């Protein structure tokens, strides 16, 4: 599945940013609206999306009226709520993406591309988005772009355990030396996807069964751009990095959302 558009058409493509934030997070209660610095977590993805200048619309996708109110405060649109049946912890992205694209289309709003900017990546900057967008529209014949970063734990040194024996996940060798016994620098570079950024042509989701399609280009994130907040340890690490000045959150023009038990507990 490849996109047949010339360079001029790709430059004129209309794009919508989707910021998904369901209300049922478990490891960190209400993590998507928990306050990080002065603002709830979702504020930073909304701000970076708006400030990037890439998108014709920034749409917040949630199943919660309370979350929707906070998102609107920071300048996102919330034209619909996600149905409960596609907002569970195991609901695949393709379900709510198709729902959102269909809802917008019924309102007469058609987009050539969509991007998923998950609020759990608060260190993604507007410049990050612009860099990814420029790479995506310049590339011919791709279905989507996905952020990746170099693996810290190489799968060549990973094992499965069966009873009292273990076996390498990747049983490859350099000559007679198995990967698990090779020096790390001798192994091929392998990348893992992070949750910070995805871009795809709209028809990939509408016509296919995934948000990525078949031809996926990499976007290698830099530094802490792809840092993901899912567990309390992740949250503590980002707060420490901010506190020591190693990283900066995207600037947010809006006043902080008023104090609320929902986001400050």
* Domains recognised in the chain with CATH numbers: 7-149+191-258 (3.90.550.10), 152-189 (no CATH)
What 207-212 contacts at long range (C-beta under 8 Å, 24+ apart), as own/partner pairs, is 207/1, 208/1, 209/94, 210/94, 211/93, 211/94, 211/97, 211/116, 211/144, 212/143, 212/144, 212/146
Q: Residue 96: which of 116, 112, 110, 76 has the closest Cα?
A: 116
pTM for the whole thing?
0.92
pLDDT in tens, 132-174: 999 999 999 999 999 999 998 999 999 999 999 999 999 999 8
Mean pLDDT computed over 74-99: 92
- pLDDT above 90: percentage of residues in the chain: 78
Q: How confident is the model at residue 194 (pLDDT cuts 50, 70, 90)?
A: very high
Please say whether the beta carbons of 264 and 33 come within 8 A. no
C-alpha distances in angstroms, 180 versus 51, 80, 100, 154?
45, 50, 45, 9
pLDDT in tens, 2-56: 446 777 778 889 999 999 998 877 667 789 999 999 999 999 999 999 999 999 9
Please say whether the beta carbons of 45 and 119 come within 8 A. yes
Mean pLDDT computed over 199-206: 96
């Amino acid at each position: 599945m490849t996109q047949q558009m010339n360079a001029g058409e790709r430059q004129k493509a209309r794009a919508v940013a989707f910021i998904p934030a369901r209300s049922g997070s478990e490891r960190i209660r209400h993590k998507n609206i928990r306050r990080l610095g002065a603002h709830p977590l979702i504020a930073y993805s909304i701000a970076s999306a708006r400030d990037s200048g890439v998108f014709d619309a920034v749409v917040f996708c949630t199943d919660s009226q309370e979350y929707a109110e906070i998102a609107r405060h920071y300048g996102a649109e919330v034209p619909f709520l996600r149905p409960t049946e596609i907002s569970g912890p195991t609901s695949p992205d393709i379900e709510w993406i198709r729902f959102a694209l269909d809802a917008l289309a019924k309102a007469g709003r058609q987009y050539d591309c969509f991007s998923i900017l998950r609020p759990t990546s608060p260190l993604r900057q507007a410049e990050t988005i612009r860099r990814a967008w420029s790479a995506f529209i310049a590339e011919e014949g791709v279905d989507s772009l996905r952020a990746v970063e170099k693996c810290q734990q190489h799968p060549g040194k990973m094992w499965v355990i069966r009873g009292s024996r273990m076996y390498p996940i990747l049983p490859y060798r350099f000559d007679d030396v198995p990967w698990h016994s090779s020096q790390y620098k001798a192994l091929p570079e392998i990348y893992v996807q992070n949750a910070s950024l995805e871009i795809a042509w709209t028809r990939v989701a509408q016509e296919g069964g995934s948000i990525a399609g078949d031809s996926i280009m990499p976007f290698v994130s830099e530094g802490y751009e792809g840092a993901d907040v899912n567990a309390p340890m992740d949250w503590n690490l980002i707060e420490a990095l901010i506190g020591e000045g190693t990283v900066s959150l995207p600037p947010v023009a809006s006043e902080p959302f008023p104090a609320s038990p929902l986001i400050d507990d």
